[in-house]
Amino acid sequence: MSTSRRKFLKLSALASGSVGLGLVPGMSALSNSVSSSGMAPKPLQILILGGSGFTGPFQVKYALSRGHKVTVFNRGKTHPGELPKEAEQLIGDRNGQLDALKNRKWDICIDIPTTLPVWVRDAAQILKGNIDRYVFISTISVFSDVSKVDMDENGPLAEYKGADAMKETPETFAANRALYGPLKVLSEKEAEKWFPGKALIIRPGLITGPGDESDRFTYWPVRVARGGEVLAPGTPNDPVQFIDARDLAEWTIRMVEQGTVGTFNATGPAYKLTMGKMLDEIKAAVKSNATFTWADADFLRAQKVRAWSDMPTWVPPRGDSIGFSQINTQKAISKGLTFRSIGDTTVVTLEWFRKQSAERQAKLKAGLTAEREATVLAAWHAQQK
């Protein structure tokens, strides 16, 4: 495997890996973030596999606000007691404990946390004939090649090269995150195999907003709000793509209401966003005095400042990664995908983060520490002299 391919797989696994991990403390703080835009034309019976992680609670609340009846199926271990009383909860486990799904009927199943194709197969064997449509939340990490700009849903897909994908487990996946994209591809195929002509595949990019435990966007509002000189990566014109968890969740429910099937890339916004515009919008939203010092990609690499993790949301737009943050989403936009402002995402994310424990706030999971950033900035200024 080439170095560039290995790097892409690692970035891809990180890009969407928090969708279904269920690591969001204090979900009650998110209740005010869910908008309602009236009742659905027809109430539906919706089964959500997962529903208690990052995007799930937004789906549950929005679906209920639209007049749908919602059932969630999960282990009941993430945020117990925080599910809205209007939603039914079934307890089980995707690893062989699916009895609670038997002898039940729903209009729609939305599968949020699945990475393993065996999970799709096992659920499908029970649900086939008992649901009308199956929605699988996938990821743009299914693409094997992002060396081209403006790639649509027909781009080349990652190939699984292991011994038996159906024998992969959460443990084997955790030990090899490069499996993320290939296993998602096979999970998509399982959804289409069991529900031909009835499957909706949604491929989000980086998911941001209140409740994101990865801090891959949160770092920037927190850092910019602190003010002062901020290390910024690459150039102000480097492209960036992400989607607010609320936009993704609510659009998914609207797609369900429309009866839409097929495959859709779902990241944003609707225009070409750049690092410069993103940081300027964040600065305006938090009313900061921050100034941005732009350090080029070669310098950052020499300083061992890593794209995406040390400098979140950013990947240098060149070589094999030039299309990483320039995925075509026109198909989804044509079906009503909308985007909140960067300012909205910034403010609500920062409000959520500041309600976390002092220990949690003291250690961001992405970005540079203040000390490390100061060291890199000093090196940059010394080089410019």
Q: Read off the tokens for 196.
A: 């031909």
Rounded CA separation 221/353 (Å): 10
Predicted TM-score of the model (pTM): 0.91
* Of 71, 56, 48, nearest in space to 23 by CA: 56
- Exposed/middle/buried for residue 347 (C-beta within 10 Å: 0-12, 13-18, 19+): middle
Over range 294-319, report the average pLDDT.
Answer: 98
CATH number of 3-384: 3.40.50.720
> Which ranges of 69-157 would DSSP assign to H, the alpha helix?
117-127
What is the sign of the dihedral through the CA atoms of 208, 209, 213 and 216? Answer: positive
Rounded CA separation 161/192 (Å): 21
Domain assignments of the chain as residue spans, ordered by start:
3-384
Residue 242: pLDDT band (50, 70, 90) is: very high
Q: Are strands 273-274 and 239-240 parallel, antiparallel or unpaired?
A: antiparallel
**Cα dist. 123→54, 69, 249, 347 in Å?**
21, 20, 21, 38
- Exposed/middle/buried for residue 74 (C-beta within 10 Å: 0-12, 13-18, 19+): buried
Residue 18: pLDDT band (50, 70, 90) is: very low
pLDDT at 359 > cutoff 50: yes
Residue 80: pLDDT band (50, 70, 90) is: low
